[in-house]
Structure 1
Amino acid sequence: MDTPQQPQRTAGQTAADAVAADLIAAVEAAVAPAVPTRPAGPSATPATPPEPLAAPAPLATSYRDPAPVPAVGDALPVAQPGRPPMSAGATDASVVMLAAGGGVLMAGGGVGFALWALAGVDPLTLAVAAGAPVAILAALSRLVRRAGQAAQQAAPVTHHHTYTGPITQTHHTATTTTARGMFARTITKNGR
């Protein structure tokens, strides 16, 4: 193999120019044997084509160890990142506590925001707005109760009895109403 020629350096060249010239000379020397040459002249025969390159051998990209994995190893236990190991009950309890803490945080933030937003509202307006849902619920419950009572009284039960022989029938109804207040209960007692 021929030794590549070293470029001639002049006294005025800088170090960077010298490195660049060395690099160019090395690349030309590496490429020169791969370029086919033709002899000069009209009777020159064409150069033989280069031989095809052999395909590189395939490289292994993975490896599976055929040895069985031992059931119990001899390595010492190492603390794993994350939560420390706990029983299932302790893990469940900690998850519940974390979820409850998040819920309380969100509810508290919502209440705090609502109070901050309502800081400039007139107190009377705020009292009316807060009392309106309670009054609506009370009115609806009274309406449902009255509708149920009306449905019971709308179609009274009719009893048809056919008797043969002497019959004594006693019918007694006692009704007391002691309803006083918004959430009072009426008690009906039989008078026996």
Structure 2
Amino acid sequence: MPHPEHTPDPIQSDPGLTDTEADAEARRIIADAYRPLPETPTAYRDTTPLPAYGNALPVLQPDNRIVPAWAAGTAVAGIGVGATCVGLGCGIWLACQGFAAVTLASVLFVTLPIAALAAVATAIGSAVRSVKTAHTETHHHYTGPVRLENNTITAPAYGLIARNRNELTR
């Protein structure tokens, strides 16, 4: 790679470009860079004359908006979550209305399913316990000598601040 001091200048090395041509080209490039962009309309004005009486005919309004996929997905998800929350809220409201109506029918309506579930759970627990005791019942036969000793625990406590010292004597 040549040293930066020895690199040829591209404007000076082009033999076909005179000073006046280079000046005109520079002016053209600067004018293109600072040229205002064409204006895009941001509003639509209907220039058709209004009728003397009655309603005006509808005019086609140009619309070419594009909704990104993530925005459409977010909108659909929001609608789903909102519908779910409304459904749950209605269910809770109906349950609270049932709890608020204190009649024999409403009390039975609430307590009978709970009592039925409790009875089923008790029956299953009893069946499991009886199966466990039937399989784990064994008779133990002890063959070693049995020693009976006098095991006493002495726990003296003396003074204003007592300190426990449990002593096991055999």
Establish whether TM, by shorter chain, passes 0.5.
no
More helix by share: 2
Q: Determine which structure has more spread, i.e. the larger CA radius of gyration.
A: 1
TM-score in terms of structure 2 length: 0.34
